[in-house]
Structures are given as structure tokens and as C-alpha cells.
Amino acid sequence: MTKISRRSFIPILGTAVVGASCLSIQEPSEFLTENGKILPTLLKKGDTIGVSAPAGGIKNKSELDDFKKILEQLGFKVKFSKNCSKKHGYFSGTDEERASDFMDLILDTEINGIFFLRGGWGCARILPLLDFDAIKSNPKVIMGFSDITSLLNAITSKTGLVTFHGPGGNSTWNIYSVDYIKELLIKGELVHYSNLKTDLKITSYVSGVASGELFGGNLSVICSTIGTGYLPNWTGKILFLEDVGEEPYRIDRMLTQLEQSGVFKNVNGIILGVFRKCIAEEPERSFTLEEVFEQHFSALKIPVFYGAQIGHVRNKFTVPLGAEVEMNADEGSFRMLEAAVL
């Protein structure tokens, strides 16, 4: 398997990127913060959003049209990668094609941000093919969730580029979710995240306040990436987790893996998002999700709360991976302590 880099990219691209200027490399120092992080430039109306499908394939080509309309309504131009509508089993193309599509958008200087059509499965398979040096040298807004978790964590931990856990093409782009995207990615605000606008219940398992760089995402994906070298050093981090459609015993199994891998003893705090449809098929023979959480988190010495609007849910936060945040487990909230875009 050959890494898709700037050199190997030129024959692969063909006419996908026109002009030598689209292969130019920006100086990363322009985007460096004082603490060594790389921040992408905030988005504005008229910017071009590149869209790729690095994991699951689309079910219908109307998904492309629907997502394009959403992004155009927000004032963006849209450019789809060449294999977006392709199908290869449960992927949108071979590993090489999906990696090439993503790197194509990274190297295209007309692209200001990269969003994704859907999750599913497949991002972890393309990580060895990506050129992280090229990604670091071409910082731009990269946003997705679900299976995109592996891509976001790998990019941020290996390059220092802040990435964003937020809606994909098959997500709900309602006013609530879009407002957080605007606050974070367009206005560049230091966002305060709380459930005051919704009636989603907050449960505090361990009270307290903690701060650290925010990392995490889908629990299943995080667990599948342990030991690969594509996750951050968890020491001092704030970990956030979410999932969908997993029975309590599976959640128990994955949390046990994180605990025994040393993650829980190293992080400063844990934010649990929405775990939708995580109920037992045979409830009389199972713990509830809440009981599983109680077993794993109540004895920890760090703040932990459950119920943040993160994950497979209609009303979504968009949150920055790699940015410093402060969480308050008693309030069930967290806030950014530093900017995530320039």
C-alpha cells in the first residue's frame, strides 16, 4: 500500500486539479498559534467547500444534490471529489480512490473547507495512505463525525491542525445545528456549549471543573483505533464520546477497553454526548445504559457528565478537536478557552 503524497499525487490527479498553483504548498507558520497549534482560516460566504466520501458510499445520487443545496443556502460554493457517487461494496471507492479524493481537496487551493457526505466505515483504512505533512502545510476547515472520528483524531494528533466534529451530508442541518457552525466556523467565536436551548437531560456522574484539549468522537471508532498510532496522547485531555445503535453490553465492553488501555486515568475529564438507540434487545437480561455509565464513571476522580448535544442527534454541537476547553460537570456544560479558527 503506497502513501498518497504530493509526488505520487500528480499522476493520480489527472485533470481533477487544474494548474500548478493548485499544488502549491502554503507556509504553515502563517497558521501557527503561540502554543504550536495550526488553525484554519474561518469560513465566509463565497468560500468553496470540498465534499468527499472517505467512508461509506451514498445510497442515492440525490444525496449529493441535497447536500449541495444546503451548503449553497449557507452561501458556499461546492466542489465534489471525483469518486463521491461511486460504489465499491460498502465504500465509495477503493482505499486508494478515497484517499486520493481527500488529498485532492487538501491540495486544491480553491478549497476553503472539507465536509463529508456520510460516515459508515472506511476512514481508518485510508489513514496509512494520507500525507500528513501535506495536510499540515495546507490547513483548512475539516468537519465531520461518526466514522470520520478516526480521520479527525489522526489529523489533529499528527499535525496539530484543529479539526471539527460536526454534521455531515446526511445529517440534520436545522437552525440549532447551523447556529453552532456559524458561531464556531464563520464568526470565530469562543463558544459556550450547554443544553439550555433543549430539554435533553444532563446527568453528572462526578462533579467538578476541568480543562484540557478536546479530543474524541464516536466510541466504537475510538476503540477500534487504539494501538494504531492515530490517536493522541490522552494525558491532560478532555475526552468526549458518543454512539448510536449499540446495546449496553457493547458499550460496557468498549468502555472497559478504554479503561484498561489507560485512557480514563490519563484524561482530565469526560463529556458523554448522546448515545441514541443504545438499548437492550432483552432488557430483562441487561443493565441499562445509565447503569453501565454509573459502573464505569462514578468512582473516577475526574469530572464526568452525560447528555451533551454531540453525536447522532438532530440538534448538534459542532466542537473543535485540539482546542483547549473547560468543562463543568455540575452544569453539564463546556466552553472554549481559545480560538479554533483564524
pLDDT in the model for residue 48: 98
Tell whether the model's pLDDT for residue 22 goes beyond 80: no
Does residue 196 belong to any structural domain of this protein? yes
Same domain, 160 and 198: no
Report how many domains make up the chain. 2
294 is catalytic: no
92: left (phi over 0), alpha (psi -120 to 50) or beta: alpha
- For residue 302, give every residue at least 6 positions away whose Cβ sits within 8 Å of its Cβ, in sequence order, or none: 206, 208, 210, 264, 267, 268, 269, 270
Same domain, 163 and 270: no
For residue 189, give the C-alpha cell: 467565536
Lowest mean pLDDT among 19-28, 119-128, 171-180, 216-225: 19-28
How confident is the model over 124-147, as pLDDT tens digits?
999 999 999 999 999 999 999 999
Same domain, 216 and 318: yes
62 is catalytic: no
146 is catalytic: yes
* CA dihedral (318, 154, 38, 8) positive or negative: negative
Same domain, 142 and 224: no
What is the pTM assigned to this prediction?
Answer: 0.91
Q: Which pLDDT band holds residue 102 (cuts at 50, 70, 90)? A: very high
DSSP state of 200: P
HSE-CB at 55 with a 13 A cutoff on CA atoms is 23
Does residue 5 belong to any structural domain of this protein? no
How confident is the model over 296-336, as pLDDT tens digits?
999 999 999 999 999 999 999 999 999 999 999 999 999 99
Same domain, 142 and 53: yes
- Find the CATH number of the domain harbouring 322: 3.50.30.60
Does residue 15 belong to any structural domain of this protein? no
Same domain, 326 and 289: yes
- How far is 318 from 310, CA to CA, in rounded Å? 8
Does residue 13 belong to any structural domain of this protein? no
Same domain, 92 and 217: no
- Catalytic residue among 242, 246, 247, 333, which? 242
Which of 138, 171, 204 is the C-terminal boundary of a domain?
A: 171
- Catalytic residue among 92, 146, 157, 220, which? 146
- Catalytic residue among 63, 220, 312, 333, which? 312
Phi, psi of 293 (to 5 degrees): -60, -45
- Structural domain of residue 100, as residue ranges? 32-171
Q: What is the mean pLDDT of the chain?
A: 92
Does residue 140 belong to any structural domain of this protein? yes
Does residue 342 belong to any structural domain of this protein? no
Same domain, 256 and 312: yes
Same domain, 110 and 222: no
- Find the CATH number of the domain harbouring 112: 3.40.50.10740
pLDDT in the model for residue 32: 76
